[in-house]
Amino acid sequence: MGIAPGAFITSNIELVTPIAEGAMGSVWVAYHHRLQTRVAVKFVSDKLGEDTPEALARFEREASTASQIKSSHVVQTFDSGVTVDGEPFMVMELLEGESLGNRLRRGQLLSLGEGATILAQIARALMKAHALGIVHRDIKPD
């Protein structure tokens, strides 16, 4: 099967197009046929060499932990699993629009008010996570 446009990773979820790829993995736009909505699907890169039971357990904990954070400032995690090819995946809310990282890379400056609003939203999200004992070690504007 593999990770490719048109591939079904479950009986309901069809991959559409990649959004981003990095050292840690890739994120795809997918269509959830049962829910009739577009979602984001995150895969962990097999280049990390972490196809051990411990790595899979860590990924499953990440998915479970992420789904516990209920905040309008945190992407909602709907589901997780493993494809028939053994690829762990996480199904998440698909956000539309430009990332803060893209905006900053374009050189578009933030006003003081915009910066304060964004920082306050980040702080609220982190407060929700910390209240659950979750420490996020990879915060970035993308």
Span 45-77, pLDDT tens digits: 765 555 677 777 877 888 888 888 998 888 999
Q: Which of the residues are catalytic?
A: 138
The rounded distance, in Å, linking the Cα atoms of 125 and 142 is 15
pLDDT the model gives residue 49 = 57
Q: What distance in Å separates the CA atoms of residue 88 and residue 85, rounded to the nearest whole number?
A: 9
Q: Which pTM value belongs to this model?
A: 0.82
Residue 125: pLDDT band by 50, 70, 90 thresholds? Answer: very high
Same domain? For 58 and 92 the reply is: yes
Shared-domain flag, residues 114 and 87: no
Residues 105 and 142 in one domain: yes
User: Based on the domain organization, do 64 and 40 belong to the same domain?
Assistant: yes
Please check whether residue 44 is in contact with residue 3, taking contact to mean a CB–CB distance below 8 angstroms: no
90-108: per-residue pLDDT in tens?
999 999 898 899 999 999 8
Same domain, 66 and 88: yes
Domain count, the chain: 2
Asked if residue 122 and residue 86 are part of one domain, the reply reads no
d(Cα 80, Cα 90) in Å, to the nearest integer?
Answer: 4
Give the domain extent around 125.
98-142
